């Protein structure tokens, strides 16, 4: 993925290293502003990156672009969110496991979707390893911060995990993902440049997730690495239908659903203030999980079609 958008990733890596430097120079200040900065980043970029799902559905479902199909899309989309919200209410521990599992796959897929895998098992294993790295390393390394959040989400105390074990798992995930880079280079699945890009990317992420406060470090990954590159992937996808499609059109298309999601979250926050309830980051997390679950499913279909088109084009070039 880094080679597909080199300017974007070089800029992101520079921002990450600057943030790491600030964390070493003024660690207390970053901790004090991390919640506000993380929320602003997620509201401005994180949520909008999933706000064009209706366009993805239209293109995946072509030529069924009628109002009946779109009505069915919105009904199914809302029902899926409602069902997942109900699961959070009834069985929060199970809902957390489901969302973690889907997120792990989703994050890994967004990074490695350009590689031609030999089997579905190889693809899933690669996605899970990468997704586990970006999700579990910040949680385990900053477990003292993560444990209360987990408790607020599930309604039960987070399990006790020793510091040595947490560090060992984090380092193991880093080594396994480094091995993935080497493996795909040796197998000629990635070029030398792609290999170097992925290694640099991996270590830049490791420095970010380990050194920055939990919420800020993960927000920078989620917004800069994941959301921005996902936006670029979606724009490339839409250009198959409309060659002139650009960033300005994407923003225009994403604005209605983005404002609806942000407005809904604002209503929840306003209600909490009126009822004198402290801001609960766990509720924010649950809300984000509910609105992004259908998006993850659609993006998986987008990447599957993207890979199918790439494979078809490669076959045509050979003949």
In tens digits, the chain (319 residues) has pLDDT values of: 656 788 888 899 899 999 999 988 887 888 888 888 888 898 889 888 888 888 888 887 755 445 567 787 888 888 999 999 999 989 988 999 999 999 999 999 989 988 888 888 999 999 999 999 999 999 999 999 999 888 888 878 888 888 899 999 999 999 999 999 999 999 999 999 999 999 999 999 999 999 999 999 999 999 999 999 999 999 988 988 888 899 999 999 999 889 988 888 788 777 777 777 666 677 777 888 888 888 888 888 888 877 655 543 444 444 4
Per-residue CA distances from 272 to 40, 44, 213 (Å): 18, 22, 25
* Distances from the Cα of 160 to the Cα of 87, 136, 143, 165, 212, angstroms: 25, 15, 9, 11, 22
Asked if residue 225 lies in contact with residue 43, where contact means CB atoms within 8 angstroms, the answer is: no
Count other Cβ atoms within 10 Å, centred on residue 286: 21
- How far does the chain reach from its first CA to its final CA, in angstroms? 27
DSSP tag of 159: P
CB 311 within 8 A of CB 281: no
Q: Which whole-number Å values give the CA distances from 101 to 95, 164, 209, 244, in the listed order? A: 10, 24, 19, 36
């Amino acid at each position: 993925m880094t080679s597909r958008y080199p300017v974007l990733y070089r800029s992101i890596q520079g921002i990450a290293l600057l943030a790491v430097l600030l964390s070493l120079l003024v660690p207390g200040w970053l901790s004090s502003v991390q919640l506000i900065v993380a929320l602003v980043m997620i509201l401005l970029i994180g949520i909008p990156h999933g706000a064009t799902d209706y366009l993805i559905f239209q293109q995946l479902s072509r030529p069924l672009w009628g109002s009946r199909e779109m009505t069915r899309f919105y009904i199914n989309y809302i029902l899926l969110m409602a069902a997942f919200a109900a699961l959070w209410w009834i069985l929060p521990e199970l809902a957390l496991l489901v969302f973690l599992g889907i997120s792990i796959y989703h994050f890994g897929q967004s990074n490695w979707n350009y590689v031609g895998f030999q089997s579905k098992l190889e693809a899933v294993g690669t996605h899970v390893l990468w997704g586990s790295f970006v999700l579990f390393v910040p949680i385990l390394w900053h477990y003292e911060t993560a444990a209360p959040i987990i408790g607020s989400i599930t309604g039960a105390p987070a399990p006790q995990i020793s510091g040595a074990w947490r560090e060992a798992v984090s380092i193991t995930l880093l080594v396994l993902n480094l091995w993935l880079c080497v493996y795909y280079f040796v197998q000629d699945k990635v070029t030398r440049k792609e290999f170097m890009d992925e290694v640099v990317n991996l270590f830049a992420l490791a420095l970010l997730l380990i050194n920055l406060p939990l919420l800020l470090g993960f927000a920078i990954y989620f917004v800069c690495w994941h959301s921005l590159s996902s936006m670029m992937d979606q724009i490339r996808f839409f250009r198959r239908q409309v060659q002139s499609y650009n960033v300005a059109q994407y923003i225009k298309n994403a604005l209605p659903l983005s404002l609806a999601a942000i407005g809904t979250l604002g209503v929840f926050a306003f209600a909490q203030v009126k009822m004198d309830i402290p801001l609960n980051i766990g509720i924010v997390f649950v809300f984000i999980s509910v609105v992004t679950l259908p998006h993850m499913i659609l993006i998986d279909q987008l990447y599957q079609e993207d890979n199918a088109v790439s494979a078809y084009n490669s076959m045509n070039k050979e003949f």
